[in-house]
Amino acid sequence: MRLLLARVLLPIVHRGSRQCTGGTQKEIRVRFAPSPTGFLHLGGLRTALYNYLFAKKHGGAFILRLEDTDRSRLVPGAAEAIEDMLEWAGIPPDESPRQGGPYGPYEQSQRLNFYQEAVQALLESGAAYRCFCTPQRLELIKKEALRRGEMPRYDNRCRHLTSSQVQEKLSKNLPFVVRFQLPSGAHSFQDLVYGWTHHDLASVEGDPVILKGDGFPTYHLANVVDDHKMAVSHVLRGEEWLISTTKHLLLYRALGWQPPIYAHLPLLLNKDGSKLSKRQGDIFIQHFVQRGYLSDTLLDVITNCGSGFAGNQIGRTLPELIEQYNLQSTVTHSALLDLDKLPEFNRVHLARRIEGTDTRAQLVAQLQPLLLEKYKDLMFDKEYIERILVLRKGHLNVLTDLLSPNYSYLWVRPSVQQEDLHQLSSEASEIGSLVVQILQNRQSDIGLELLSKELKSHLQRLEATNYSTSMKLLRLVLSGLESGPSVAEMMLSLGPEESIIRLQKALSS
Protein backbone atom coordinates (compact mmCIF):
# COMPACT_ATOMS: atom_id res chain seq x y z
CA MET A 1 0.00 0.00 0.00
CA ARG A 2 2.75 2.38 1.01
CA LEU A 3 4.65 1.84 -2.22
CA LEU A 4 1.53 2.26 -4.23
CA LEU A 5 0.72 5.54 -2.53
CA ALA A 6 4.26 6.76 -3.04
CA ARG A 7 3.94 6.08 -6.73
CA VAL A 8 0.65 7.91 -6.98
CA LEU A 9 1.62 10.79 -4.78
CA LEU A 10 5.14 11.57 -5.84
CA PRO A 11 4.65 12.27 -9.53
CA ILE A 12 1.76 14.48 -8.58
CA VAL A 13 3.59 16.30 -5.89
CA HIS A 14 6.33 17.09 -8.35
CA ARG A 15 4.12 17.44 -11.39
CA GLY A 16 1.63 20.12 -10.33
CA SER A 17 2.58 22.13 -13.40
CA ARG A 18 -0.38 24.44 -13.14
CA GLN A 19 0.31 28.06 -13.65
CA CYS A 20 -0.53 30.70 -11.20
CA THR A 21 -0.97 34.24 -12.49
CA GLY A 22 1.96 35.18 -10.26
CA GLY A 23 4.42 33.01 -12.19
CA THR A 24 5.04 29.61 -13.66
CA GLN A 25 6.09 27.86 -10.48
CA LYS A 26 4.97 24.29 -10.03
CA GLU A 27 2.48 24.26 -7.26
CA ILE A 28 0.63 22.15 -4.78
CA ARG A 29 -2.69 23.82 -4.10
CA VAL A 30 -5.18 22.55 -1.56
CA ARG A 31 -8.33 24.04 -0.18
CA PHE A 32 -10.55 23.98 2.87
CA ALA A 33 -14.10 24.55 1.68
CA PRO A 34 -16.53 24.91 4.58
CA SER A 35 -20.10 26.07 4.27
CA PRO A 36 -20.75 29.07 6.50
CA THR A 37 -23.83 27.34 7.86
CA GLY A 38 -22.23 27.11 11.28
CA PHE A 39 -19.13 27.98 13.24
CA LEU A 40 -15.83 26.13 13.00
CA HIS A 41 -15.67 22.99 15.12
CA LEU A 42 -12.98 20.44 15.82
CA GLY A 43 -13.86 18.28 12.80
CA GLY A 44 -13.55 21.27 10.47
CA LEU A 45 -10.36 22.44 12.11
CA ARG A 46 -8.88 19.01 11.56
CA THR A 47 -9.68 19.02 7.84
CA ALA A 48 -8.28 22.55 7.54
CA LEU A 49 -5.16 21.56 9.47
CA TYR A 50 -4.38 18.53 7.30
CA ASN A 51 -4.72 20.71 4.21
CA TYR A 52 -2.47 23.32 5.75
CA LEU A 53 0.14 20.72 6.74
CA PHE A 54 0.10 19.19 3.27
CA ALA A 55 0.49 22.62 1.63
CA LYS A 56 3.31 23.74 3.92
CA LYS A 57 5.10 20.41 3.71
CA HIS A 58 5.24 20.69 -0.08
CA GLY A 59 5.72 24.45 -0.35
CA GLY A 60 2.22 24.88 -1.75
CA ALA A 61 -0.77 27.12 -1.16
CA PHE A 62 -3.58 26.67 1.34
CA ILE A 63 -6.87 28.17 0.17
CA LEU A 64 -10.04 28.97 2.10
CA ARG A 65 -13.13 28.85 -0.08
CA LEU A 66 -16.55 29.50 1.37
CA GLU A 67 -19.25 27.27 -0.05
CA ASP A 68 -22.16 29.59 0.57
CA THR A 69 -24.58 28.58 -2.16
CA ASP A 70 -27.19 27.17 0.20
CA ARG A 71 -28.55 30.61 0.97
CA SER A 72 -31.30 29.42 3.28
CA ARG A 73 -28.86 27.84 5.75
CA LEU A 74 -26.33 30.66 6.07
CA VAL A 75 -25.55 31.66 9.65
CA PRO A 76 -24.79 35.37 10.07
CA GLY A 77 -21.20 35.96 11.14
CA ALA A 78 -20.09 32.37 10.48
CA ALA A 79 -18.00 33.19 7.39
CA GLU A 80 -15.97 35.83 9.24
CA ALA A 81 -15.67 33.64 12.31
CA ILE A 82 -14.30 30.68 10.34
CA GLU A 83 -11.45 32.78 8.99
CA ASP A 84 -10.87 34.36 12.42
CA MET A 85 -10.54 30.90 13.94
CA LEU A 86 -8.07 29.71 11.29
CA GLU A 87 -5.96 32.76 12.05
CA TRP A 88 -6.28 32.17 15.79
CA ALA A 89 -5.17 28.57 15.28
CA GLY A 90 -2.03 29.78 13.49
CA ILE A 91 -3.04 28.24 10.15
CA PRO A 92 -4.11 31.29 8.13
CA PRO A 93 -5.02 30.68 4.51
CA ASP A 94 -2.73 32.00 1.77
CA GLU A 95 -5.77 32.83 -0.35
CA SER A 96 -9.23 33.52 1.07
CA PRO A 97 -12.15 35.94 1.08
CA ARG A 98 -10.16 38.15 3.46
CA GLN A 99 -6.70 37.66 1.95
CA GLY A 100 -7.82 37.73 -1.66
CA GLY A 101 -5.59 35.99 -4.19
CA PRO A 102 -5.14 35.34 -7.90
CA TYR A 103 -8.05 32.90 -8.20
CA GLY A 104 -10.77 34.90 -6.43
CA PRO A 105 -13.45 35.57 -5.55
CA TYR A 106 -13.27 32.99 -2.78
CA GLU A 107 -16.99 32.89 -1.94
CA GLN A 108 -19.08 30.72 -4.22
CA SER A 109 -21.94 33.20 -4.17
CA GLN A 110 -19.63 35.59 -6.03
CA ARG A 111 -18.71 33.07 -8.70
CA LEU A 112 -22.10 32.42 -10.33
CA ASN A 113 -20.76 33.34 -13.80
CA PHE A 114 -18.30 30.41 -13.68
CA TYR A 115 -21.08 27.93 -12.88
CA GLN A 116 -23.35 29.39 -15.57
CA GLU A 117 -20.54 28.95 -18.08
CA ALA A 118 -20.02 25.32 -17.11
CA VAL A 119 -23.75 24.60 -17.17
CA GLN A 120 -23.96 26.13 -20.63
CA ALA A 121 -21.14 23.90 -21.87
CA LEU A 122 -22.80 20.82 -20.38
CA LEU A 123 -26.17 21.70 -21.90
CA GLU A 124 -24.58 22.23 -25.29
CA SER A 125 -22.73 18.92 -25.24
CA GLY A 126 -25.87 17.10 -24.07
CA ALA A 127 -24.28 16.04 -20.79
CA ALA A 128 -26.89 18.05 -18.89
CA TYR A 129 -30.54 18.88 -19.49
CA ARG A 130 -33.26 21.16 -18.20
CA CYS A 131 -35.79 19.54 -15.93
CA PHE A 132 -39.23 21.12 -15.65
CA CYS A 133 -40.71 18.62 -13.21
CA THR A 134 -42.77 20.36 -10.58
CA PRO A 135 -42.09 19.96 -6.86
CA GLN A 136 -45.45 18.17 -6.64
CA ARG A 137 -44.38 15.55 -9.20
CA LEU A 138 -41.05 15.01 -7.44
CA GLU A 139 -42.86 14.64 -4.13
CA LEU A 140 -45.14 12.06 -5.66
CA ILE A 141 -42.19 10.04 -7.02
CA LYS A 142 -40.68 10.12 -3.56
CA LYS A 143 -43.84 8.96 -1.83
CA GLU A 144 -44.38 6.14 -4.30
CA ALA A 145 -40.83 4.89 -3.81
CA LEU A 146 -41.14 4.99 -0.04
CA ARG A 147 -44.44 3.14 -0.24
CA ARG A 148 -42.68 0.38 -2.22
CA GLY A 149 -39.88 0.37 0.35
CA GLU A 150 -37.37 1.70 -2.19
CA MET A 151 -34.87 4.57 -2.07
CA PRO A 152 -36.48 7.58 -3.74
CA ARG A 153 -34.80 8.65 -6.98
CA TYR A 154 -35.70 10.94 -9.84
CA ASP A 155 -36.94 8.94 -12.84
CA ASN A 156 -34.96 11.06 -15.36
CA ARG A 157 -38.13 11.89 -17.27
CA CYS A 158 -36.93 15.26 -18.63
CA ARG A 159 -33.87 13.57 -20.15
CA HIS A 160 -36.14 12.58 -22.97
CA LEU A 161 -37.66 15.96 -23.80
CA THR A 162 -37.10 16.96 -27.40
CA SER A 163 -35.53 20.33 -28.09
CA SER A 164 -38.84 21.70 -29.36
CA GLN A 165 -40.55 20.59 -26.13
CA VAL A 166 -37.82 22.36 -24.18
CA GLN A 167 -38.20 25.51 -26.27
CA GLU A 168 -41.93 25.47 -25.77
CA LYS A 169 -41.58 25.24 -21.98
CA LEU A 170 -38.96 27.95 -21.97
CA SER A 171 -41.18 30.24 -23.99
CA LYS A 172 -43.88 29.74 -21.35
CA ASN A 173 -41.35 30.80 -18.74
CA LEU A 174 -41.78 27.58 -16.82
CA PRO A 175 -39.33 27.25 -13.95
CA PHE A 176 -36.59 24.63 -14.37
CA VAL A 177 -33.48 23.17 -12.83
CA VAL A 178 -30.52 21.68 -14.70
CA ARG A 179 -29.63 18.04 -14.17
CA PHE A 180 -26.47 16.17 -15.03
CA GLN A 181 -27.04 13.02 -17.06
CA LEU A 182 -25.32 10.22 -15.17
CA PRO A 183 -23.54 7.89 -17.60
CA SER A 184 -24.39 4.25 -16.97
CA GLY A 185 -21.90 1.63 -15.86
CA ALA A 186 -19.42 1.36 -13.02
CA HIS A 187 -16.72 3.97 -12.61
CA SER A 188 -13.56 3.59 -10.59
CA PHE A 189 -11.06 5.94 -9.14
CA GLN A 190 -8.13 5.72 -6.79
CA ASP A 191 -8.24 7.64 -3.55
CA LEU A 192 -4.88 8.24 -1.89
CA VAL A 193 -6.21 7.01 1.44
CA TYR A 194 -9.06 4.62 0.64
CA GLY A 195 -7.55 3.06 -2.48
CA TRP A 196 -9.71 1.97 -5.42
CA THR A 197 -13.40 2.79 -5.23
CA HIS A 198 -16.05 1.64 -7.70
CA HIS A 199 -19.49 3.15 -8.07
CA ASP A 200 -22.31 2.57 -10.50
CA LEU A 201 -24.18 5.75 -9.72
CA ALA A 202 -26.74 5.56 -12.52
CA SER A 203 -28.03 2.28 -11.13
CA VAL A 204 -28.83 3.76 -7.73
CA GLU A 205 -29.45 7.49 -8.26
CA GLY A 206 -31.52 9.66 -10.50
CA ASP A 207 -29.76 12.41 -12.45
CA PRO A 208 -28.56 14.98 -9.92
CA VAL A 209 -29.49 18.65 -10.01
CA ILE A 210 -26.46 20.82 -10.75
CA LEU A 211 -28.18 24.19 -11.10
CA LYS A 212 -31.10 25.09 -8.88
CA GLY A 213 -34.18 27.10 -9.80
CA ASP A 214 -32.71 30.18 -8.11
CA GLY A 215 -29.71 30.12 -10.49
CA PHE A 216 -27.37 28.90 -7.75
CA PRO A 217 -25.33 25.75 -8.36
CA THR A 218 -25.54 22.72 -6.12
CA TYR A 219 -22.49 21.65 -4.13
CA HIS A 220 -21.42 19.04 -6.69
CA LEU A 221 -21.14 21.40 -9.63
CA ALA A 222 -19.74 24.35 -7.70
CA ASN A 223 -17.13 22.16 -6.07
CA VAL A 224 -15.90 20.79 -9.40
CA VAL A 225 -15.89 24.14 -11.18
CA ASP A 226 -14.04 25.86 -8.36
CA ASP A 227 -11.46 23.17 -7.78
CA HIS A 228 -10.69 23.36 -11.48
CA LYS A 229 -10.74 27.16 -11.78
CA MET A 230 -8.69 27.56 -8.62
CA ALA A 231 -6.10 25.09 -9.92
CA VAL A 232 -6.51 22.84 -6.90
CA SER A 233 -4.03 19.99 -7.20
CA HIS A 234 -5.18 17.79 -4.29
CA VAL A 235 -8.52 17.54 -2.54
CA LEU A 236 -8.14 16.50 1.08
CA ARG A 237 -11.58 16.37 2.64
CA GLY A 238 -13.75 14.40 5.03
CA GLU A 239 -14.53 10.79 4.30
CA GLU A 240 -18.23 11.61 4.05
CA TRP A 241 -17.52 12.99 0.55
CA LEU A 242 -15.89 9.81 -0.77
CA ILE A 243 -19.28 8.66 -2.01
CA SER A 244 -19.73 11.87 -4.05
CA THR A 245 -16.36 11.72 -5.73
CA THR A 246 -17.48 9.55 -8.64
CA LYS A 247 -20.10 12.17 -9.46
CA HIS A 248 -17.41 14.84 -9.38
CA LEU A 249 -15.12 12.84 -11.63
CA LEU A 250 -17.93 12.28 -14.12
CA LEU A 251 -18.51 16.03 -14.20
CA TYR A 252 -14.80 16.61 -14.83
CA ARG A 253 -14.92 14.16 -17.70
CA ALA A 254 -18.01 15.77 -19.19
CA LEU A 255 -16.36 19.19 -18.96
CA GLY A 256 -13.12 17.89 -20.47
CA TRP A 257 -11.06 18.91 -17.44
CA GLN A 258 -8.32 17.06 -15.62
CA PRO A 259 -9.45 16.29 -12.06
CA PRO A 260 -7.37 16.85 -8.94
CA ILE A 261 -6.04 13.98 -6.84
CA TYR A 262 -8.38 12.93 -4.03
CA ALA A 263 -7.47 11.92 -0.50
CA HIS A 264 -10.34 11.42 1.91
CA LEU A 265 -9.70 11.81 5.60
CA PRO A 266 -11.24 9.48 8.17
CA LEU A 267 -13.86 10.98 10.43
CA LEU A 268 -13.19 12.44 13.83
CA LEU A 269 -15.52 10.87 16.38
CA ASN A 270 -16.19 11.22 20.08
CA LYS A 271 -14.29 8.90 22.40
CA ASP A 272 -17.30 6.55 22.56
CA GLY A 273 -17.44 6.30 18.75
CA SER A 274 -20.46 8.59 18.36
CA LYS A 275 -20.50 11.34 15.74
CA LEU A 276 -19.39 14.85 16.68
CA SER A 277 -22.59 16.80 16.59
CA LYS A 278 -22.92 20.51 16.08
CA ARG A 279 -25.47 20.39 18.85
CA GLN A 280 -22.65 19.47 21.22
CA GLY A 281 -21.75 23.04 22.19
CA ASP A 282 -18.33 21.95 23.37
CA ILE A 283 -16.87 21.11 19.96
CA PHE A 284 -16.77 24.65 18.62
CA ILE A 285 -13.36 26.29 18.51
CA GLN A 286 -14.67 29.49 20.11
CA HIS A 287 -15.70 27.49 23.13
CA PHE A 288 -12.12 26.27 23.64
CA VAL A 289 -10.73 29.78 23.12
CA GLN A 290 -13.06 31.07 25.82
CA ARG A 291 -11.95 28.35 28.18
CA GLY A 292 -8.35 29.46 27.76
CA TYR A 293 -7.00 26.61 25.65
CA LEU A 294 -4.04 27.34 23.41
CA SER A 295 -4.18 26.83 19.67
CA ASP A 296 -1.20 24.44 19.89
CA THR A 297 -3.22 22.29 22.26
CA LEU A 298 -6.15 21.94 19.89
CA LEU A 299 -3.91 21.18 16.91
CA ASP A 300 -2.07 18.59 18.96
CA VAL A 301 -5.20 16.92 20.32
CA ILE A 302 -6.86 16.56 16.91
CA THR A 303 -3.75 15.07 15.34
CA ASN A 304 -3.00 12.80 18.26
CA CYS A 305 -5.81 10.41 17.57
CA GLY A 306 -4.28 8.75 14.56
CA SER A 307 -3.56 9.49 10.90
CA GLY A 308 -0.80 11.38 9.21
CA PHE A 309 1.96 10.69 11.74
CA ALA A 310 4.26 7.81 12.48
CA GLY A 311 3.04 7.73 16.07
CA ASN A 312 1.11 9.61 18.72
CA GLN A 313 3.13 11.95 20.84
CA ILE A 314 1.97 14.71 23.14
CA GLY A 315 3.40 18.21 22.80
CA ARG A 316 3.98 18.68 19.05
CA THR A 317 3.89 22.29 17.93
CA LEU A 318 2.87 23.46 14.46
CA PRO A 319 6.40 23.45 12.93
CA GLU A 320 6.87 19.91 14.28
CA LEU A 321 3.49 18.86 12.89
CA ILE A 322 4.50 20.18 9.46
CA GLU A 323 7.81 18.40 9.61
CA GLN A 324 6.42 15.07 10.75
CA TYR A 325 3.21 15.01 8.71
CA ASN A 326 2.96 12.38 6.03
CA LEU A 327 -0.22 11.87 4.02
CA GLN A 328 0.81 8.28 3.43
CA SER A 329 0.44 7.56 7.14
CA THR A 330 -3.28 8.33 6.97
CA VAL A 331 -5.24 5.30 8.06
CA THR A 332 -8.83 4.57 7.11
CA HIS A 333 -10.26 3.95 10.56
CA SER A 334 -11.96 6.81 12.35
CA ALA A 335 -10.06 8.91 14.84
CA LEU A 336 -11.40 8.99 18.39
CA LEU A 337 -11.16 12.29 20.14
CA ASP A 338 -10.37 12.30 23.84
CA LEU A 339 -11.32 15.70 25.18
CA ASP A 340 -10.62 14.62 28.76
CA LYS A 341 -6.95 14.92 27.87
CA LEU A 342 -7.24 18.61 26.99
CA PRO A 343 -5.97 19.94 30.36
CA GLU A 344 -2.95 17.65 30.16
CA PHE A 345 -2.16 18.73 26.59
CA ASN A 346 -2.59 22.37 27.50
CA ARG A 347 -0.27 22.03 30.50
CA VAL A 348 2.44 20.78 28.18
CA HIS A 349 1.91 23.50 25.59
CA LEU A 350 1.62 26.23 28.19
CA ALA A 351 4.92 25.07 29.65
CA ARG A 352 6.50 25.29 26.20
CA ARG A 353 5.23 28.83 25.77
CA ILE A 354 6.54 29.78 29.20
CA GLU A 355 9.96 28.50 28.14
CA GLY A 356 10.20 30.73 25.06
CA THR A 357 11.14 34.35 25.76
CA ASP A 358 8.77 35.81 23.17
CA THR A 359 5.90 33.47 23.90
CA ARG A 360 6.32 34.11 27.63
CA ALA A 361 6.07 37.85 27.02
CA GLN A 362 2.86 37.23 25.06
CA LEU A 363 1.40 35.30 27.98
CA VAL A 364 2.24 38.16 30.33
CA ALA A 365 0.60 40.62 27.96
CA GLN A 366 -2.52 38.47 27.92
CA LEU A 367 -2.66 38.15 31.67
CA GLN A 368 -2.00 41.77 32.63
CA PRO A 369 -5.36 43.24 31.50
CA LEU A 370 -7.24 40.31 33.03
CA LEU A 371 -5.54 40.88 36.36
CA LEU A 372 -6.20 44.56 36.16
CA GLU A 373 -9.86 43.89 35.52
CA LYS A 374 -10.16 41.45 38.39
CA TYR A 375 -8.04 43.24 40.96
CA LYS A 376 -8.98 46.71 39.77
CA ASP A 377 -6.41 49.34 40.61
CA LEU A 378 -3.53 47.01 41.45
CA MET A 379 -0.61 47.03 39.01
CA PHE A 380 1.49 43.95 38.47
CA ASP A 381 4.75 44.40 36.72
CA LYS A 382 5.96 42.24 33.90
CA GLU A 383 8.91 40.74 35.79
CA TYR A 384 6.69 39.68 38.67
CA ILE A 385 4.24 37.87 36.38
CA GLU A 386 7.08 36.28 34.38
CA ARG A 387 8.66 34.98 37.57
CA ILE A 388 5.38 33.40 38.64
CA LEU A 389 4.90 31.79 35.24
CA VAL A 390 8.36 30.27 35.33
CA LEU A 391 7.87 28.94 38.85
CA ARG A 392 4.40 27.51 38.06
CA LYS A 393 5.46 26.00 34.71
CA GLY A 394 3.98 22.54 34.31
CA HIS A 395 1.36 23.11 37.02
CA LEU A 396 -1.08 25.39 35.24
CA ASN A 397 -3.76 23.82 33.06
CA VAL A 398 -4.69 27.13 31.51
CA LEU A 399 -3.18 30.57 31.91
CA THR A 400 -6.35 31.89 33.52
CA ASP A 401 -5.93 29.42 36.40
CA LEU A 402 -3.87 32.27 37.84
CA LEU A 403 -7.08 34.25 38.24
CA SER A 404 -8.71 31.56 40.37
CA PRO A 405 -9.14 32.00 44.17
CA ASN A 406 -6.29 29.52 44.75
CA TYR A 407 -3.85 32.03 43.34
CA SER A 408 -5.35 35.22 44.73
CA TYR A 409 -2.50 35.33 47.31
CA LEU A 410 -0.20 36.29 44.45
CA TRP A 411 -2.15 39.47 43.83
CA VAL A 412 -3.62 40.45 47.22
CA ARG A 413 -2.52 39.82 50.80
CA PRO A 414 -4.52 37.12 52.51
CA SER A 415 -6.23 37.74 55.82
CA VAL A 416 -5.02 35.23 58.36
CA GLN A 417 -6.40 34.68 61.86
CA GLN A 418 -3.74 34.87 64.57
CA GLU A 419 -5.57 32.21 66.62
CA ASP A 420 -5.30 29.72 63.77
CA LEU A 421 -1.54 30.17 63.70
CA HIS A 422 -1.02 29.88 67.43
CA GLN A 423 -3.26 26.90 67.51
CA LEU A 424 -1.03 25.21 64.96
CA SER A 425 2.16 25.88 66.89
CA SER A 426 3.19 27.45 70.20
CA GLU A 427 6.42 28.47 68.43
CA ALA A 428 4.67 30.54 65.75
CA SER A 429 6.65 33.72 66.45
CA GLU A 430 9.99 31.85 66.55
CA ILE A 431 9.20 30.28 63.22
CA GLY A 432 8.37 33.71 61.83
CA SER A 433 11.61 35.35 62.93
CA LEU A 434 13.70 32.37 61.85
CA VAL A 435 12.29 32.49 58.35
CA VAL A 436 12.56 36.26 58.15
CA GLN A 437 16.25 35.86 58.99
CA ILE A 438 16.72 33.25 56.29
CA LEU A 439 15.09 35.54 53.77
CA GLN A 440 17.14 38.54 54.84
CA ASN A 441 20.40 36.66 54.62
CA ARG A 442 19.74 34.70 51.48
CA GLN A 443 21.44 35.37 48.16
CA SER A 444 19.05 37.18 45.88
CA ASP A 445 19.27 34.49 43.20
CA ILE A 446 18.75 31.51 45.47
CA GLY A 447 16.89 28.77 43.61
CA LEU A 448 13.87 26.77 44.66
CA GLU A 449 15.85 23.76 45.69
CA LEU A 450 18.39 25.65 47.82
CA LEU A 451 15.72 27.66 49.58
CA SER A 452 13.74 24.48 50.35
CA LYS A 453 16.86 22.88 51.78
CA GLU A 454 17.65 25.89 53.89
CA LEU A 455 14.14 26.06 55.30
CA LYS A 456 14.25 22.40 56.08
CA SER A 457 17.60 22.46 57.85
CA HIS A 458 16.56 25.36 60.09
CA LEU A 459 12.99 24.37 60.82
CA GLN A 460 13.80 20.76 61.58
CA ARG A 461 15.73 21.96 64.60
CA LEU A 462 12.66 23.34 66.37
CA GLU A 463 11.66 21.51 69.49
CA ALA A 464 7.89 21.63 69.73
CA THR A 465 6.87 21.90 66.07
CA ASN A 466 7.49 19.28 63.47
CA TYR A 467 8.61 20.27 60.00
CA SER A 468 5.33 19.63 58.20
CA THR A 469 3.40 21.72 60.74
CA SER A 470 5.87 24.59 60.26
CA MET A 471 5.24 24.38 56.55
CA LYS A 472 1.51 24.39 57.07
CA LEU A 473 1.80 27.46 59.23
CA LEU A 474 4.03 29.30 56.78
CA ARG A 475 1.78 28.45 53.86
CA LEU A 476 -1.19 29.81 55.77
CA VAL A 477 0.66 33.03 56.54
CA LEU A 478 1.86 33.56 53.00
CA SER A 479 -1.26 32.55 51.12
CA GLY A 480 -4.17 31.89 53.45
CA LEU A 481 -4.24 28.37 51.96
CA GLU A 482 -3.93 24.96 53.56
CA SER A 483 -2.51 23.39 50.46
CA GLY A 484 -0.95 24.62 47.27
CA PRO A 485 2.52 25.30 45.93
CA SER A 486 5.49 24.65 48.19
CA VAL A 487 6.37 27.29 50.77
CA ALA A 488 9.70 27.93 49.05
CA GLU A 489 7.93 28.51 45.74
CA MET A 490 5.47 30.88 47.37
CA MET A 491 8.36 32.85 48.82
CA LEU A 492 10.20 33.03 45.53
CA SER A 493 7.02 34.07 43.73
CA LEU A 494 6.19 36.83 46.19
CA GLY A 495 9.79 37.91 46.56
CA PRO A 496 11.69 38.40 49.87
CA GLU A 497 10.26 41.83 50.71
CA GLU A 498 6.62 40.83 50.36
CA SER A 499 7.21 37.48 52.11
CA ILE A 500 8.87 39.25 55.03
CA ILE A 501 6.01 41.73 55.29
CA ARG A 502 3.47 38.92 55.42
CA LEU A 503 5.50 36.96 57.99
CA GLN A 504 6.05 39.97 60.23
CA LYS A 505 2.44 41.03 60.06
CA ALA A 506 1.14 37.64 61.09
CA LEU A 507 3.85 36.33 63.35
CA SER A 508 5.32 39.34 65.13
CA SER A 509 3.32 38.91 68.31
Closest contact distance (angstroms) between CB of 342 and ligand GLU is: 25
In the complex with ligand GLU, the residue whose CB is nearer, 218 or 346, is 218
Residue 69: C-alpha distances to residues 66, 325, 509 (Å): 9, 33, 76
Closest-by-Cβ residue to ligand GLU is: 237
Q: Could you please report the per-residue DSSP string of 485-500? A: S-HHHHHHHH-HHHHH
Using CB atoms within 10 Å of the CB of residue 301, give its burial: 0 to 12 exposed, 13 to 18 middle, 19+ buried. buried
Closest contact distance (angstroms) between CB of 280 and ligand GLU is: 18
Question: If DSSP codes are grouped into helix, strand and coil, which group holds residue 238?
Answer: strand
In the complex with ligand GLU, the residue whose CB is nearer, 267 or 314, is 267
In the complex with ligand GLU, the residue whose CB is nearer, 69 or 297, is 69
Closest contact distance (angstroms) between CB of 237 and ligand GLU is: 3
In the complex with ligand GLU, the residue whose CB is nearer, 66 or 402, is 66
Closest contact distance (angstroms) between CB of 223 and ligand GLU is: 5
In the complex with ligand GLU, the residue whose CB is nearer, 44 or 432, is 44
What is the rounded distance in angstroms from the CA atom of residue 407 to the CA atom of residue 104? 50
Closest contact distance (angstroms) between CB of 11 and ligand GLU is: 23
* Measured distance between the N- and C-terminal CA atoms of the chain, rounded to whole angstroms: 79
Count other C-beta atoms under 10 Å from residue 370's C-beta: 14
CB contact set of 358 (below 8 Å; sequence gap of 6+): none
In the complex with ligand GLU, the residue whose CB is nearer, 35 or 425, is 35
β-strands 195-199, 128-131 pairing: unpaired
In the complex with ligand GLU, the residue whose CB is nearer, 28 or 416, is 28
Closest contact distance (angstroms) between CB of 241 and ligand GLU is: 5
Do 299 and 89 touch, CB atoms closer than 8 A?
yes
The candidate with the shortest Cα–Cα distance to 262, out of 65, 19, 103, 30, is 30
Closest contact distance (angstroms) between CB of 35 and ligand GLU is: 4
Closest contact distance (angstroms) between CB of 222 and ligand GLU is: 9
Do 502 and 415 touch, CB atoms closer than 8 A?
no
Q: Count how many residues are written for the chain.
A: 509
In the complex with ligand GLU, the residue whose CB is nearer, 251 or 474, is 251
Interacting residue ranges for ligand GLU, rule: CB under 6 A: 33-35, 67, 223, 237, 241
What is the rounded distance in angstroms from the CA atom of residue 193 to the CA atom of residue 356? 37
What is the rounded distance in angstroms from the CA atom of residue 244 to the CA atom of residue 490? 60
What is the rounded distance in angstroms from the CA atom of residue 81 to the CA atom of residue 83? 5
Closest contact distance (angstroms) between CB of 227 and ligand GLU is: 8
What is the rounded distance in angstroms from the CA atom of residue 182 to the CA atom of residue 154? 12
In the complex with ligand GLU, the residue whose CB is nearer, 242 or 389, is 242
